Amino acid sequence: MKINPRFPNLRVVLRLQASNDYADLITDGIDLAIRGHEKLLPDSGLIQRRITEVPWHLFGPPGLAQHLGNSASPTDFDSQPGLALGWRPGSSAWSLEGLGRSTASVPYAIRMRCDDMVSLKEAAAAGLGVVALPAYVCAEDVAAGRLSRLLPDWTAGLPEISLLAHERWGNPPQVDAIAAFLRLELPNVMNKIGRS
């Protein structure tokens, strides 16, 4: 993959770490971080560059979508079995926003909590419950008929993706090249899939 044609011999070593916990970039030796968030990130002395918004939707097995039909509303999902992102106890209600900025809080019965979006997606496809996930995570499964997007006129959040870096001058060219590549390409990938 060519990240930056100005550096054809650029050698980059990627260390991928996926976590919902906040990392200390300086202490952990991390040059760049991609962070999804709904609220402003705390002031940490890091440079934060907004990359894009990422729509989240409710997904479930195709049979559920067929059972509820095209006229389903958020109230049809009250107390449905649900799958929650994150292992810590928290809310058991989906916060939805519809056309015209209408909102709905839909309680669900937690059947599974997990930090891994792929596991949650697979559990939803297997019929264990409804899940709120980013659209790009579920796009292939929706296209293949393993999952259905539920309540198509509603979103289950529109968090931002930001790029975090050290507040310092003179980043190595590898760091600047990766940052530029991510700012350019990540919105295209997430929005092409996520808004279809």
**166-177, pLDDT tens digit by residue?**
766 567 777 888
Distance of CA 48 to the CA centre of its chain: 18
pLDDT value at 98 more than 70: yes
Tell me the residue type at 111.
R
pLDDT at 112: 94
In the chain, the percentage of residues whose pLDDT exceeds 70 is: 83
- Taking residues 56-65, report their average pLDDT: 91
Strand arrangement of the beta sheet that strand 148-150 belongs to: 93-97, 103-114, 80-85, 130-134, 56-60, 148-150
The predicted pLDDT at position 90 comes to: 73
pLDDT value, residue 95: 92
Q: What is the pLDDT of residue 196?
A: 38
Among candidate residues 189, 69, 91, 183, the one with its CA nearest the CA of residue 136: 189
Q: Percentage of the chain surpassing pLDDT 90?
A: 33
Catalogue all structural domains in the chain, each as residue range(s) with its CATH number. 32-53+160-194 (no CATH), 56-150 (3.40.190.290)
Would you say the pTM of this structure is higher than 0.85?
no
pLDDT at 57: 94
Distance in angstroms (rounded) separating the CA atoms of residues 69 and 177: 48
Task: Write the DSSP assignment of 102-117 as a string of letters.
Answer: -EEEEEEEEEEEES-H
pLDDT, mean over the chain: 82
Q: What is the pLDDT of residues 104-128, one digit of tens each?
A: 999 999 999 998 999 999 999 999 9
With CA atoms as reference, report the closest residue to 138 among 37, 56, 66.
Answer: 56
37-54 pLDDT per residue, tens: 777 776 667 788 888 888
Q: What is the mean pLDDT of residues 60-72?
A: 85
Whether the pLDDT of residue 2 is over 60: the answer is no
